[in-house]
Amino acid sequence: MNLKKSTVSVLAMLFCTTGLFLTGCQSSPKAENTENKTAESAQTATTEAGDFLLQTLDGKTVNLSELKGKVVFMNVWATWCPPCRAELPDIEKLYKKMQGKPVEFVMLTVDEELQAARDFIKKEGYSFPVYAPTGPLPKAFETQAIPVTFVIDANGKIVDRNEGMANYNSDEFVAHLTSLLPK
């Protein structure tokens, strides 16, 4: 009888472990795959970004609506989030590549303490602008997970939403972002 219980226990643990492993290996929409928009991305194509107040790390405030007329790359992240931290070097490269073009980067930290974000950015040497929300995010930007990245076109519409880590410095994503620039 103990042998049956042991066998069932081992099989149950093996089944659970395999399920967890396979769930963790599922592919998510990647920034490189801009041709095949997910259903979620297609839905956001008509969603107005709306407006909300952002605060820079040095305390200045900016309304998201002030960035209308430019493409906005908005990444919601936190210093305590390993996938967030892993994608930041490629975002920094993209930021440098897009300088001088009508693209605004809004690196939106959701750290409870802004000092943690200040210290992290300084330690890592990132130059992209970091903001914090001054209140709850509008419904269009609500998410259950980070990192999450939104691309807002020059007309203020959310055209891309990607939940999960991605390489935003890929040739495909750079071409996609460039295609959104105002003519």
The CATH number given to whatever domain includes residue 156 is 3.40.30.10
Q: Which domain holds residue 43?
A: 30-179
Stretches in the chain below the pLDDT threshold 50: 3, 5-45
Widest CA span in the chain: 75
Q: How many domains does the chain have?
A: 1
pLDDT tens profile 130-152: 999 998 888 889 888 999 999 99
Would you say residue 86 lies in a domain? yes
Would you say residue 5 lies in a domain? no
Would you say residue 65 lies in a domain? yes
C-beta separation of 49 from 157 below 8 A = yes
What is the model's pLDDT at position 138? 87
Would you say residue 64 lies in a domain? yes
Would you say residue 4 lies in a domain? no
pLDDT tens profile 21-38: 333 333 333 444 333 333
